[in-house]
Amino acid sequence: MFENMRELMDQSATIQKEARDDLAYYLEKSIKSNLEIIVLSMLMECPMCGYDLIKDIFEKYNVFLSQGTVYPLLYSLKNDGLLQAQFARGNTRTKIYSITEYGEDIVKGKINDFIQVEEYILDIIR
Amino acid sequence: MFINSVRGLDNLFQSEIPAGSVILITGTEGTLKSSLAMNLISNYLLSNDNHGLYVTLEESVESIIRNISSIGFKHSDNLHMFDYKDIRNEWGDRELDMVDLTENVINFYREKCDNLTIFALDSLNALYTFTNQANLRKDMYNFFTLLKDQELTSFLIMESNPNSLIYEADRMGWPEYFLSDGVVMVGIEEVNDRVRRYIQIKKMRATKHKMEKHQLVVDDQGISVLGPLY
């Protein structure tokens, strides 16, 4: 009896762990495929450097992104004119990224489009 | 065609370098390793609609462009350049897995550009510096496998150490020499009291090539390969 209980508890723990792993996997996949919009919305809220972006994404979503994923995206968005970079005050080793004047409306439009599409999908699958 | 990307390179090759080859460009300091790679890639990209990625671990992109712009370098818009200056400044070389990081940089540009077929890393020595030495062979094997799986024609720049007496013999045991499809050596040699640059194809799988050292010259038109050194 006791052994059966232990087996059931072990099975339950395994299923819960697998469910958590699945959730973490989908979350990470979703963050990566929507990274541009996540980064833009975070920078819209608060200008920051690549290090702080990675740290904030980890704190918010528990997903650690490689520097090799985030920095090329920042450079690409800067090349597209959506972001600008300037050194932090008194620190020439840290570049702070913010939305440009040109990029502001484009970024707001992108965020709105994203929200609408996500809500549309959620309405259908709920 | 790569063999038409540098003037006179067809003196050395009788057939084209196969797409997807991983090629080491090696030589001591100041032997035009980076300039040769950059000239090859940029001229190649100017002749088609492929994209290339040049990753530099130590020098900044600005510094590399400044150095090569004096030797007739024509920059292709399809050549994307990426340096690790900001990452290293902000992360201070700690917690950085350069092999994993470089894989992610490649994946980013792969997704961004439809036709990323060329990759260059400057330099492999710097990558080694940031790689856990205990896992070096495994990491390098995985890195070379990644480049081959992605069918990227890759140029890996590696500085050789002129002071190491055992270097010539020792290096054949290093993983990059047997993992690579090609080894191109560049150097400087004194011939009849005249100092000359040279290029030598030590190895190039599936390609007919000459083995002799050929003279390498550089002027404001770029890099050219002339006849045999001797």
8 A C-beta contact, residue A70 and residue A50: yes
Evaluate if residue B82 carries a pLDDT over 50: yes
Evaluate if residue A4 carries a pLDDT over 50: yes
8 A C-beta contact, residue A72 and residue B109: yes
pLDDT in tens, A16-60: 777 778 888 999 999 999 999 999 999 999 999 999 999 999 999
Residue B203, judged by CB atoms within 10 A of its CB (0-12, 13-18, 19+), counts as middle
Number of domains in chain B: 1
Query: Considering only A8-17, A33-42, B30-39, B88-97, which range has the smallest mean pLDDT?
Result: A8-17
The parent domain of residue B139 ranges over 19-185
Query: Considering only A5-14, B29-38, B50-59, which range has the smallest mean pLDDT?
Result: A5-14
Please indicate, yes or no, whether residues A43 and A86 belong to a single structural domain of this protein: yes
Number of domains in chain A: 2
The parent domain of residue A100 ranges over 35-125
- Is there a domain that residue B39 lies in? yes
- Is there a domain that residue B46 lies in? yes
- Is there a domain that residue B207 lies in? no
Q: Which of residues 59-88 of A touch B (CB under 8 A)?
A: 66-69, 71-73, 75-76
Please name the member of A72, A75, A94 whose beta carbon is closest to the beta carbon of B89.
A94
Evaluate if residue B149 carries a pLDDT over 70: yes
- Is there a domain that residue B197 lies in? no
- Is there a domain that residue B190 lies in? no
Chain mean position to CA B103: 17
- Is there a domain that residue B192 lies in? no
Please indicate, yes or no, whether residues A65 and A100 belong to a single structural domain of this protein: yes
Residue B166 — pLDDT band, cuts 50, 70, 90? very low
Please indicate, yes or no, whether residues A64 and A104 belong to a single structural domain of this protein: yes
> Which residue from B minimizes the CA distance to A79?
B80
Please indicate, yes or no, whether residues A29 and A39 belong to a single structural domain of this protein: no
**pLDDT score for B196:** 94
- Is there a domain that residue B164 lies in? yes
Tell me the chain B residues in contact with residue A39 when contact means C-beta distances shorter than 8 Å. none
Please indicate, yes or no, whether residues A29 and A43 belong to a single structural domain of this protein: no
CATH number (domain holding residue A62): 1.10.10.10
Please indicate, yes or no, whether residues A90 and A53 belong to a single structural domain of this protein: yes
- Is there a domain that residue B139 lies in? yes
CA angle B172, B173, B175 (to 5 degrees): 100
- Give me the phi and psi of A9, to 5 degrees please: -65, -40
Mean pLDDT for B78-100 is 87
Percent of the residues in chain B that have a pLDDT greater than 90, as a whole number: 61
Taking the whole predicted model, whether its pTM rises above 0.80 is answered as yes
| Residue B53 or B177, more confident | B53
pLDDT in tens, A54-94: 999 999 999 999 999 999 999 999 999 999 999 988 888 89
Please indicate, yes or no, whether residues A28 and A39 belong to a single structural domain of this protein: no
CATH number (domain holding residue B25): 3.40.50.300
| Residue B128 or B77, more confident | B77
| Residue B151 or B164, more confident | B151
**pLDDT score for B62:** 87
To the nearest whole number, what is the mean pLDDT of chain B?
A: 88
Mean pLDDT for B218-228 is 89
* B123 preceded by a cis bond (ω within 30 of 0): yes
Please indicate, yes or no, whether residues A60 and A29 belong to a single structural domain of this protein: no
Please name the member of A73, A76, A93 whose beta carbon is closest to the beta carbon of B89.
A93
